[in-house]
Amino acid sequence: MNISEGETQSFFGSDSHHENIIFATFYILIFLIAVPGNALALWAFFLYHLSDSHWPFGHVTCQLAGFLFYLNMYCSLYLMSFISLHRFLAVVLPIKSQSVRKVLYAKVAVGILWVTVIVSMSPTLFSKRDVRNNSTVSCNKLYLEKTSPTALVSTVVAFVIPLTTIVVSYILILLKLRAIKQKEERPVKSKAIRMIVLIVMNFLFAFVPYHVSRVIYIEMHMHGNLTAASHESLGRANRITSALTCVSGVLDPVMYFFLNRVYRDKLLFCKP
């Protein structure tokens, strides 16, 4: 469906210039806050391991670091699932979904997501998880190690929902793309398929190992009878797969922006 220039101007209204200024200011503020914030969080992880798992920053900072780490992970998971669902609607059901694919609805959905994840992760702010061993203080908030039936169910549910949404959405998009027969559309089709494969691989690589490891970790601890070696191996797997989730933060900009030709051209040549 094509939108004429007149329709576009009517849609954005006469205040589009002011809106652009507002959005530009908003995004630069997000950049200025998020980049140092993420850098400080990763710096805390770096110092923690550099000092042999000693946490020198205090109890409150330990609570906050763990909360922000997992808040970021699950917001990323669900935002990726929202993007996949939006693309599914746009590609597979473009006409039927017109009434749903509105900016206002997207803002409301993202707002609800943030509130839901913040509330869900808030218990990590109040449970004591730093452990003292002589002069060493370990911050277990950095790696969730709570084991209970509730922890098992919440881990599975929190991951299965975005996993199912992403996989099913992109499979249906791929099937729709495969049905395209026009010769002139083949380059676009091939590029879209490659992009989908890369996005799904990014998701699977960054998040599946962690959640599989978490489920095994919780199950094994709930059943008990663990040897010291098994306990250490499970804990190490939990920490390694937690670190892997950070890879998504590196790959997401590549997947969603830098592989986009229009965005890349504008960035390289500073085109407005």
Q: Tens place of pLDDT for every residue, the chain, 272 residues?
A: 444 444 334 333 444 667 667 766 766 776 666 666 666 666 667 777 767 767 777 778 778 877 888 888 898 899 999 999 999 998 899 888 888 888 889 989 999 999 999 998 888 777 665 555 556 666 765 555 566 777 788 888 899 999 999 999 999 999 988 887 766 566 777 778 888 888 888 899 989 999 999 888 888 878 776 778 887 888 788 888 888 887 877 777 666 665 666 545 544 444 44
pTM over 0.85: no
Q: How far is CA 193 from CA 9, 79, 172, 225, in A?
A: 32, 20, 12, 47
What's the pLDDT score for residue 131?
52
Residues 69, 80 share a domain: yes
CA distance 269 to 222: 57
What's the pLDDT score for residue 196?
86
Residues 100, 29 share a domain: no
Residues 98, 45 share a domain: no
What's the pLDDT score for residue 149?
79
CA distance 218 to 70: 17
What's the pLDDT score for residue 8?
37
Residues 77, 27 share a domain: no
Q: How many domains does one find in the chain?
A: 2
What's the pLDDT score for residue 28?
75
Q: Are residues 90 and 145 in contact, defined by beta-carbon separation less than 8 angstroms?
A: no
Check residue 148 and report its DSSP letter.
S
Cα 185 to the center of its chain, rounded Å: 31
**CATH code (residue 258):** 1.20.1070.10
Q: Which residues contact 127 (CB under 8 A, 6 or more apart)?
A: 146
Residues 232, 160 share a domain: yes
Q: Looking at the chain, which runs of residues are DSSP E strands?
A: 130-133, 136-139
DSSP-derived 3-state class of residue 129:
coil
- The boundaries of the domain holding residue 206 are 51-269
CA distance 117 to 73: 10
Closest C-alpha among 255, 211, 260 to residue 80: 255
What's the pLDDT score for residue 211?
92
Residues 32, 90 share a domain: no
What's the pLDDT score for residue 4?
41
Last residue of a domain, one of 7, 29, 50: 50
What's the pLDDT score for residue 150?
79
